[in-house]
Structure 1
Amino acid sequence: MEKLSSPKITKEIVNKYGFKFSKSLGQNFLIDENIIYKIIEGSQITKEDIIVEVGPGIGTLTQYLADKAEKVLAIEIDKSLIPILEETLKDYENVEVINSDVLDLDLKGLIENKFPDRKVKVVANLPYYVTTPIIMKFLEEEVPVKDIVVMVQKEVADRLKAKPKTKDYGSLSVAVQYYCEPEIITRVPKSVFIPNPNVESTVIRLKVLENPKVNVKDKKVFLNVVRASFAKRRKTLLNSLSFSDFELSKDEIKKILKASNIDSNRRGESLTIQEFAILSNNISSIL
């Protein structure tokens, strides 16, 4: 069938099946081939690649992914889209659709069983209401992924790529940059979706590092330190960490900060990922 990037074809499919867009599932279908080509180019897909797509919708991006990749595993939560995907992807033998909530899946086990000793690429127009949990699931659960190329809300992309001492820099910036090297591929206007979303979008590539950017004694402690440091942005590190789950006294935290060569009056937004690693390692040493 014709490519679904055509607004006319998309509308015909939606009307044929009487499909109703769900705001709660963040459903906005892409109808611009130029944006799709930028996603494909930014993903650097080859015929040796296995692609995991989260939220294929009616299969618009999926068709282009299937043309380029060895295999596409598309995970769709909305069961009403499954018969549509069966039609729109019927000519693609290298596509498998799973009707499930990606957050409920054992992704690591699923991929290791289906594709032993292989790493996958994640390429998706993510539902904006669960962007962060999905990205962190792939990273924290050590799913065998080499690249994550996703369309997300512009503000989220800015946070993913943010540097210290900027307004967008926060716990998500540090957590993602611990695992990945972020790169903006393209900005995306509201007008290229049906229906138009209320926000601007960005396609971002997260190049997953072979080894995390910094060495930490305990990854869980590291991430907890990061989250606690940004929990209340106006508080100093001394106060933020005093109210964390570590159950350390202010005097203990003062000593740890001094040993880490970090002024206790600094705020989390001023720390580099390397400083967070030193701080968390010193906390790990006494827990």
Structure 2
Amino acid sequence: MERLISPKKTKEIVRKYGFKFSKSLGQNFLIDENILNKIIDGAEVTKEDLVMEIGPGIGTLTQALADQAKKVVAVEIDKSLLPILAETLRESKNVTVVNADVLKLDLHQLIQKEFEGAPVKVIANLPYYVTTPIIMKFLEDRVPLKNMVVMIQKEVADRMQAKPGTKDYGALSVAVQYYCEPQIITRVPSSVFIPQPNVESTVIRLTLLGEPRVKVKNEEVLFQVVRASFGKRRKTLLNALSSSELGVTKEQVKTALAAAQIEENRRGETLTIKEFGILADAIAEVKSIS
């Protein structure tokens, strides 16, 4: 099968099957070999690797992954792409296509069935409207991962790797960096897609840490504290936390901040992940004795 990574071949396949791009599914097909290679190189795919691809589209990246990896499982939500994938991947004997919504899948069950529970590399050109839910599902479900290399909207990638005190630093930064080490692989112009999206993209690698970046007594409390701290960015921690879903009084927050040795007038955007961990444990302590 001729490689799809060209505007000519992509358009030919789309025309042949009368495929209609779905705006609601955020479908944009990659047509640039340089970017395709950077994705695969960024994930460091070898013949020993097991790969899960989310959103294969017409199979452009899937073809290349099949050449590099031991096995590829491609999860595609759009049924109308299945006959196209049957053609474009017919020579790739190490590829399995699963027609499903990844957000509704039992990922542990799928990995057990297809990869015998072994750690996988996740590679995806994600629809921008579901980028964060998909990434957080893999991380929060504690799926056995080596890394994730995903093409996402530039602004989202910037937030994922942002540091404390910067304008992009927020709840997503803390959540991703709690589990991973993020690294930008390459910036991607809109011109390398059919159709062209209205935003710039970025390929980012999220390398799973052996253990979460900080150890906390209660992860649920940690992420409640993080969400509350960034929910109203202009508020101080004292005011943001005492008026949040945490269910703690201003006095309890004062006690927790003092125990964590964090000033009451600081804002969430200035806290490191380590400080969030210490504060979350202090909040959990005051809640347990109330």
TM-score, structure 1 length as denominator? 0.99
Aligned to 1:206: 206
Distance in 1 (alpha carbons) for counterparts of 2:110 and 2:286: 37
| Aligned-pair CA distance for 1:109 | 2.0
| Aligned-pair CA distance for 1:142 | 0.5
Q: Does 1:244 align with 2:244?
A: yes
| Aligned-pair CA distance for 1:240 | 1.0
Q: Are the equivalent residues in 1 in contact too, given 2:256–2:286 (CA < 8 A)?
A: no
Trace 1:1-287 onto structure 2 (pairs within 5 A): 1-287=1-287
Distance in 2 (alpha carbons) for counterparts of 1:167 and 1:92: 45
Q: Which residue type is aligned with residue 84 of structure 2?
A: I
Q: Which residue type is aligned with residue 7 of structure 2?
A: P
| Aligned-pair CA distance for 1:242 | 1.1
| Aligned-pair CA distance for 1:231 | 0.6
Distance in 1 (alpha carbons) for counterparts of 2:158 and 2:46: 28
| Aligned-pair CA distance for 1:117 | 4.1
| Aligned-pair CA distance for 1:113 | 3.1
What secondary structure is seen at the aligned counterpart in 2 of 1:262?
A: coil
Q: Are the equivalent residues in 1 in contact too, given 2:146–2:208 (CA < 8 A)?
A: yes
What secondary structure is seen at the aligned counterpart in 2 of 1:230?
A: helix
What secondary structure is seen at the aligned counterpart in 2 of 1:142?
A: coil
Q: Which residue type is aligned with residue 11 of structure 2?
A: K
Distance in 2 (alpha carbons) for counterparts of 1:117 and 1:62: 21
Q: Which residue type is aligned with residue 86 of structure 1?
A: A
Distance in 2 (alpha carbons) for counterparts of 1:225 and 1:32: 42
| Aligned-pair CA distance for 1:24 | 0.7
Distance in 2 (alpha carbons) for counterparts of 1:53 and 1:201: 18
Distance in 1 (alpha carbons) for counterparts of 2:166 and 2:108: 34
1:185-239: CA deviation from partner (whole Å, max 9, x where unpaired):
0000010000000000000000001101111111111111111110111111111
Distance in 2 (alpha carbons) for counterparts of 1:184 and 1:114: 29
| Aligned-pair CA distance for 1:112 | 2.3
Unaligned residue ranges in structure 1 (runs of 5+): none
Pairs aligned (count)? 287
Q: Which residue type is aligned with residue 157 of structure 1?
A: A
Q: Which residue type is aligned with residue 112 of structure 2?
A: E
Distance in 2 (alpha carbons) for counterparts of 1:211 and 1:79: 38
1:22-65: CA deviation from partner (whole Å, max 9, x where unpaired):
11100000000000011111110111101011110000100001
Q: Are the equivalent residues in 1 in contact too, given 2:159–2:170 (CA < 8 A)?
A: yes
| Aligned-pair CA distance for 1:138 | 0.2
What secondary structure is seen at the aligned counterpart in 1 of 2:159?
A: helix
Distance in 1 (alpha carbons) for counterparts of 2:75 and 2:59: 11
After superposition, the Cα gap between the structure-2 partners of 1:117 and 1:19, relative to the gap in structure 1 and judged at 3 Å, is closer
Distance in 2 (alpha carbons) for counterparts of 1:242 and 1:39: 44
| Aligned-pair CA distance for 1:116 | 2.5
What secondary structure is seen at the aligned counterpart in 1 of 2:227?
A: helix
Q: Which residue type is aligned with residue 84 of structure 1?
A: I
TM-score, structure 2 length as denominator? 0.98
Range with greater deviation from structure 2 (237-246 or 77-86): 237-246
Q: Are the equivalent residues in 1 in contact too, given 2:256–2:279 (CA < 8 A)?
A: yes
> Identity rate of aligned residues, in percent?
68
Distance in 2 (alpha carbons) for counterparts of 1:263 and 1:236: 9
